[in-house]
Chains A and B, each alone.
Chain A
Amino acid sequence: MISDDYLKYPKRRRGMDHERYDWSILPRRKPIKWPGGARLALWVTVSLQWFPLDMKGQPFKPLGALQTAYPDLRHYTLRDYGNRVGIFRVIKALERHGIRASAPTNAAVAVRYPSLLEELASLNWEIVAHGLDMDHLHYEGMADERSLVTRSLEKLPKVRGWLSPAKSESKQTLDLLAEAGIEYVCDWVNDDMPYEMRAGGGTLWAMPHSGDIDDAQIMIGNRHDEDDWRDQMIDQFELLYDESTVQGGRMMSLSLHPWVIGQPYRISDLDLASRLSFFLWSRGPDDALMNIAVQNRLHEPAVLEQQVRRMLKDPRAESLAVNFAGQWLNLRGLGSSGPLPMIYPDFDDPLRQAMRREVELLFDDIVRQDRNVVDLLTANYTFVNERLAKHYGIENIYGSQFRRVLLPPAMEDRWGLLGKGAFLVTTSKPERTSPVVRGKWIMGNILGMSPPDPPPNVPALPPRAADAAGNAHEPTMRQKMLDHRVRADCIQCHSMMDPIGFALEPFDGIALKRTLGDLVEP
Chain B
Amino acid sequence: MKRDPGLYDYLPYSKRPKIEWPDGARVAFWVAPNIEFYELEPPKNPSRASWARPVPDVLNYAYRDYGNRAGFWRMAEAMERCGVRGSVSLNVAVCDHHPEVIEACVKRGWELYSHGTYNTRYTFNMSEEQERALIQDSIDTIRKHSGQKLDGWLAPALTYTDRTLDLVAEMGLTYVCDLFHDDQPGPVKVRQGRLVSIPYSLEMNDAISLSVNLVTPRHYGEIIKRQFDRLYAEGAESGTVMCIPLHPYLIGQPYRLKAFEDALGYITGHDKVWLATGREIAKHFADNYYDAFARASQPVHDL
A interface residue numbers (CB < 8 A to B): 1-2, 4-7, 9, 11-18, 23-28, 59-60, 139-141, 166-171, 187-192, 211-213, 222-224, 228, 231-233, 235-236, 238-240, 243, 338, 348-350, 353, 387, 400
Of B81, B99, B134, which is within 8 A of A349 by CB?
A: B81
Q: Are A223 and B214 in contact (CB under 8 A)?
A: yes
Q: How many residues of B contact A (CB 8 A)?
A: 60
B residues near A9, Cβ cutoff 8 Å: 93, 117-118
**Is there contact, CB below 8 Å, between A140 and B65?**
no
Q: Is the CB of B265 within 8 A of A353?
A: yes
Bound CA–CA A121/B70 (angstroms): 35
Contact check, B58 vs A188: say whether CB atoms are below 8 A apart.
yes
Query: Which stretch (B13-21, B120-128, B164-172, B289-297) binds chain A?
Result: B120-128
Would B54 and A140 count as touching, CB distance under 8 A? yes
CA distance A139 to B55 in the complex (A): 8
Q: Is B62 an interface residue (CB 8 A)?
A: yes
Determine if B45 and A2 form an interchain contact, defined as CB atoms under 8 angstroms apart. Answer: yes
Stretch at the interface among B145-153, B175-183, B196-204, B256-264: B256-264
29 contacts between A and B (CB under 8 A): A1-B125, A1-B126, A1-B127, A6-B45, A6-B121, A12-B93, A15-B97, A17-B37, A18-B41, A26-B73, A139-B54, A140-B56, A190-B63, A191-B66, A191-B70, A192-B254, A213-B253, A228-B218, A231-B216, A231-B218, A232-B216, A233-B255, A235-B218, A235-B259, A236-B255, A240-B254, A338-B81, A349-B269, A387-B269
- Known interface pairs A25-B73, A187-B62, A239-B255; 20 further A-B residue pairs with C-beta atoms within 8 A, sorted by A's residue number: A2-B130, A7-B121, A7-B133, A9-B117, A11-B39, A12-B96, A23-B69, A26-B73, A60-B52, A167-B58, A188-B58, A189-B62, A190-B61, A190-B62, A192-B254, A212-B253, A238-B258, A239-B254, A349-B83, A349-B265
Q: Which 4 A-B pairs have the closest CB atoms?
A: A350-B269, A236-B255, A190-B65, A190-B62
CB nearest to A26 among chain B residues: B70
Asked if residues B40 and A17 are in contact (CB atoms below 8 Å), the reply is: yes
Would you give the shortest CB distance from B203 to chain A, in whole angstroms? 18
Query: Is B43 interfacial (CB 8 A cutoff)?
Result: yes
A239–B216 alpha-carbon span in the complex (Å): 16
Q: Are A6 and B130 in contact (CB under 8 A)?
A: yes
Using a CB–CB cutoff of 8 Å, the interface residues on chain B facing chain A are 37, 39-41, 43, 45-46, 52-56, 58-59, 61-66, 68-70, 73-74, 81-83, 93, 96-100, 117-118, 121, 125-127, 130, 133-134, 137, 214, 216-218, 253-259, 262, 265, 268-270
Give CA–CA (A2, B53) in the complex, Å: 23
Decide if B69 touches A167 in the complex (CB within 8 Å). no
Smallest CB separation, A187 vs chain B (Å) = 6
Q: Are A13 and B127 in contact (CB under 8 A)?
A: no
Structural contact, A23 and B58, CB atoms closer than 8 A? no
Give the nearest-CB partner of B253 in chain A. A212
Q: A9-B117, A18-B40, A223-B214 are in contact. Are A189 and B96 (CB under 8 A)?
A: no
- Say whether, besides A25-B73, A140-B55, A349-B269, A236 and B99 are in contact (CB < 8 Å): no
Instruction: Decide: A189 and B66 in contact? CB cutoff 8 A.
Output: yes
Given A190-B62, A387-B269, does the pair A13, B97 have CB atoms closer than 8 Å?
yes
Known: A140-B54, A232-B217. A189 touches B258 (CB 8 A): no
Q: Which residues of B contact A192 (CB under 8 A)?
A: 70, 254
Cβ contacts under 8 Å, A6 to chain B: 43, 45, 121, 126, 130
Residues of the B chain whose Cβ atoms lie less than 8 Å from the Cβ of A353: 262, 265, 269
| Complex partner residue of B97 from A1, A14, A212, CB under 8 angstroms | A14
**How distant is the Cα of A212 from the Cα of B37 in the complex, in angstroms?**
20
Considering the chains assembled together, what is the distance between the CA atoms of A346 and B98 in angstroms?
35
Task: Give complex CA distance A338, B126 in Å.
Answer: 50
Q: Are B69 and A190 neighbours in the complex by a CB distance under 8 Å?
A: yes
A212 to B66, CA, bound (A): 12
A188 to B56, CA, bound (A): 12
Closest Cβ–Cβ distance, residue A228 to chain B (whole Å): 5
**Which of A18, A222, A349 lies in contact with B214, CB distance below 8 A?**
A222
Q: How far is the CA of A190 from the CA of B56 in the complex (A)?
A: 15
Docked pose: A9 CA to B121 CA in angstroms:
10
Is there an interface contact between A190 and B96, defined as CB atoms closer than 8 Å?
A: no
A5 partner, pick from B43, B53, B58, B63, beta carbons under 8 A: B43
Asked if B268 contacts A168 (CB within 8 A), the reply is no
Write out the residue numbers on chain A whose beta carbons fall within 8 Å of the beta carbon of B61: 190
Residues from chain A with a CB closer than 8 A to the CB of B98 are: 23
Is the CB–CB distance between A4 and B268 below 8 Å?
Answer: no
In angstroms, Cα B217 to Cα A30, docked, is 30
Residues of B near A60 (CB, < 8 A) are 52-54
Which chain B residues lie closer than 8 Å to A14 at the CB level? 96-97, 99
Report the bound CA distance from A338 to B218 in whole Å.
24
Compute how far the CA of A163 lies from the CA of B217 in the bound complex, rounded to whole angstroms: 27
Residues of B within 8 A of A228 (CB): 216, 218
Q: Say yes or no: A2-B66 contact (C-beta < 8 A), given A12-B93, A240-B254.
A: no
Q: How far is the CA of A26 from the CA of B65 in the complex (A)?
A: 12
Asked if B254 contacts A236 (CB within 8 A), the reply is yes
Q: Which of A1, A7, A12, A188 contacts B62 (CB 8 A)?
A: A188
Q: Are B63's CB and A211's CB within 8 A?
A: yes
A12 to chain B, nearest CB (A): 5
Nearest CB on A from B57, distance (A): 8
Contact of A243 among B65, B68, B254 (CB under 8 A): B254
- Complex CA–CA separation, A223 to B134 (angstroms): 40
